[in-house]
Chains A and B, each alone.
Chain A
């Protein structure tokens, strides 16, 4: 019995101690500060993508990010889901030169892009990407919001998180200080500058606005099924809710005289 009481005591102390001490344990040296909530519409439980913002975000990706970052899972045809017309998408695809082949003579050749092509990659291979970026590999952005803690909020925070290093922090050669990058030293130079991308219709093009747009675009690219998924989920939950009530009432009726 004494052993049991001791066990009980230890377990009780542990249970009580944990709840009080939890915040003290939360500090983790490896982690960057948590990205603040940027209030994206698609992060709400029934939210959808802001199409206009995502289209501008694609333009930011095309004119800025895509010089280093690939999106290997994406096809130009996917852009019609973003609200662009088939003609617009065809023109966007055709504006890229794609290496195709081998042809009947066995040679590779260049041709204008088609909607069925993958997004053109900036580098022939990972080693070329590394070599062109001082040894740092620019990650593929196809599923980047799913591949980072914080998702689109993190991307937004990272793109707007370049700061002067705080006193006492030495930034290594070729690195840049970022408030939200794990370890704070990121090889990517600040990619966005105010007014860098000219949007049709004159939408705001501050760093903050462009970061918001490109984060929206990347969130859509990572989860193009998000809206269909949530819409189907609502229907299925309503169906199951009704079915559940019927099942429960049937159960009550069947069991009425059994207890």
Chain B
């Protein structure tokens, strides 16, 4: 192809002229038009698209907020209140951004849960999964720094507690903390660099999201049955089938989002963050935002600071090696009766950790956190490797089409090797 034009199939002469030189239209048609997608997605498969929409909402509202925000310890709090009061629809933009962060985590937690339940992390999608974990980590860093910007009491004390965690690292810990702070306590330099990084990281996320989607379009999507499509009878073109199905999910998502923004904008926040930051007054309870609570509970479950930090880090790093911890060849937990029950219990346990994270670090919450932490790690490190070896999975369906369409699909005759089957116009 060197030196030649792309062989474009597009009729419109103007678009064709562009497409011959830069085949973005061909690419869009291939990746989002006719892209063969398993025909049996349930609504859990909406959440990738929802996360994408959410990222765009966060970036757009964030850019507008940055136009009005002042990253200085004496002015940050007042500048946020000015956005709420004097900027046209500033309250809408700020509440959408603040609650958008919560929505982002709700969506991404469900997206991750979906991947774990249906085994989307397994071969050949390991790298796709690991890129997702990278996005999750970047999201956590971004959300944490964003919460510091309004410079309320929880901003300040949350920043103090979390940055102090790095001091647990032997030898270099204190140096790292000094660099994070830009000084010897959380102060104006900290606020400035957090603002800078909070603006930068979403674009890094966008880059990794691009890689995540690129990897997805190599392997194709997993599906609720966890078996690979064997031929065209198992798939549908992405458009219009999944563009419309995603549209339904997007409207429902926007409705939940709207209820939060318009009717309970501070429900997920903490009242103390409407008190301007004061280094001389420590709040009675320092709690992070709700989406960090499970990990905060793990941190506090360990009496040793370094141990707590390592375990908290480990609870997420573990996700990177999940494809190798789960040794079962069967992806979907629909066909793994014991794993399914254990994973649902693990899910409940995640909420128990979240609940513990919001409680003060005293008994009985510490004990419950410790038990829950053991269950969290036990599932990954003990249950999954053993289950892969000993669990007897249920029989897998012959193909997606057979499972979804039943005898209708069989009427099309046997499917030798799948690939040789004729493309079906409509099921």
Q: Which residues of A contact B (CB under 8 A)?
A: 1, 3-4, 7-8, 10-12, 14-15, 18, 25, 28, 30, 45, 72-73, 78, 139-140, 142-143, 146-149, 182, 222, 224-225, 229-230, 232-234, 236-237, 240-241, 243-244, 247-248, 250-251, 254-255, 257-259
Contacting residues of chain B (76-126) with chain A, CB-CB under 8 angstroms: 78, 81-82, 84-85, 91-92, 95
Q: What are the residues of chain B within 8 A of A73 when measuring CB–CB?
A: 78, 81-82, 85
Bound: A3/B271 CA distance, A: 43
Q: Which of B62-70, B293-301, B342-350, B410-418 lies at the binding interface?
A: B342-350
Decide if A258 touches B349 in the complex (CB within 8 Å).
no
Q: A14-B349, A182-B284 are in contact. Are A149 and B262 (CB under 8 A)?
A: no
- Tell me the dominant secondary structure on chain B's binding face: helix
- The chain B residue with its CB closest to the CB of A250 is B244
For this complex, 19 residue pairs linking A to B, each with C-beta atoms less than 8 Å apart, are A1-B386, A7-B345, A8-B345, A11-B375, A30-B284, A73-B81, A73-B85, A139-B275, A147-B275, A225-B84, A225-B85, A230-B263, A240-B254, A247-B247, A248-B248, A254-B241, A257-B426, A259-B39, A259-B427
Q: Chain A residues with Cβ under 8 A from B258's Cβ?
A: 233, 236-237, 240
Q: Are A237 and B342 also in contact (CB < 8 A) when A3-B386, A7-B382, A244-B251 are? A: no
Does any Cβ of A come within 8 Å of B313's Cβ?
Answer: no
Q: Which residues of A contact B352 (CB under 8 A)?
A: 14-15, 18
Q: Which of B26-34, B155-163, B365-373 contacts A (4 or more CB under 8 A)?
A: B365-373
In whole angstroms, what is the CA distance A229 to B94 when docked? 12
A229-B92 in contact (CB<8A):
yes
A1 to B251, alpha carbons, bound, how many Å? 44
Known A11-B375, A229-B265: A247·B255 in contact at CB below 8 Å: no
Say which residue of A7, A236, A250, A259 sits within 8 Å of B375 (CB atoms). A7
Q: Which residues of B contact A257 (CB under 8 A)?
A: 426-427
Whether the Cβ atoms of A45 and B274 lie closer than 8 Å is no
A230 touches B262 (CB 8 A): yes
In the complex, the chain B residue whose C-beta lies closest to that of A11 is B345
Partner of B345, one of A15, A72, A224, A225: A15
Quick one: closest A residue to B265, CB to CB?
A: A229
Query: Which B residues are within 8 Å of any A CB, using their own CB?
Result: 39, 78, 81-82, 84-85, 91-92, 95, 236, 240-241, 244-245, 247-248, 251-252, 254-255, 258-259, 261-263, 265-266, 271-272, 274-276, 284-285, 338, 341-342, 345-346, 348-349, 352, 359-360, 364-365, 368, 371-372, 375, 378-379, 382-383, 386-387, 390, 404-405, 426-427
Give the complex CA separation of A105 and B285 in angstroms: 51
CB <8 Å contact, A12 and B345: yes
Most chain B CB neighbours (cut-off 10 Å) among A139, A232, A247: A247
Contacts of B382 in A (CB 8 A): 3, 7
- Asked if A146 meets B349 with Cβ closer than 8 Å, knowing A73-B85, A248-B248, A254-B244, the reply is no
CA distance A230 to B265 in the complex (A): 11
| Across-interface contacts of A30 in B (CB, < 8 A) | 284-285, 360
A255 and B404 alpha carbons, distance in the complex (Å): 13
Contact residues in B for A225 (Cβ distance below 8 Å): 84-85, 91
A248 vs B244: C-alpha distance when bound (angstroms): 8
In the bound assembly, the distance between CA atoms of A257 and B382 in angstroms comes to 45
Contact status A8-B275, CB under 8 Å:
no
- Rounded to whole Å, the gap between the CB of A133 and the closest CB of chain B is 15
List the A side residues contacting B245 at CB < 8 Å.
251, 255
CA distance A95 to B139 in the complex (A): 51
Q: Is the CB of B241 within 8 A of A240?
A: no
Q: Given A148-B271, A254-B244: A10 and B371 within 8 A (CB)?
A: yes
Measured in the bound complex, the distance between the Cα atoms of B283 and A30 in whole Å is 11
Q: Which of B263, B266, B345, B427 contacts A146 (CB 8 A)?
A: B266
Nearest residue, chain A, Cβ from B339: A4
Question: Do A4 and B342 form a contact, CB below 8 Å, given A139-B275, A230-B263, A232-B92?
Answer: yes
CB <8 Å contact, A143 and B241: no
Closest approach, in angstroms, between the C-beta of B207 and any C-beta of chain A?
31
| Residue of B whose beta carbon sits closest to that of A148 | B271
Query: Is the Cβ of A8 less than 8 Å from the Cβ of B342?
Result: yes
Distance between A255 CB and nearest chain B CB, rounded to angstroms? 7
CA distance A1 to B338 in the complex (A): 10
Contact yes or no, B383 A4, CB < 8 A:
yes
A187 to B424, CA, bound (A): 79
User: A258 vs B272: C-alpha distance in the bound complex, in angstroms?
Assistant: 52
User: What chain A residues lie within 8 Å of B383 (beta carbons)?
Assistant: 3-4, 7
Q: Are B263 and A233 in contact (CB under 8 A)?
A: yes
**A233 pairs with B262, CB closer than 8 A:** yes
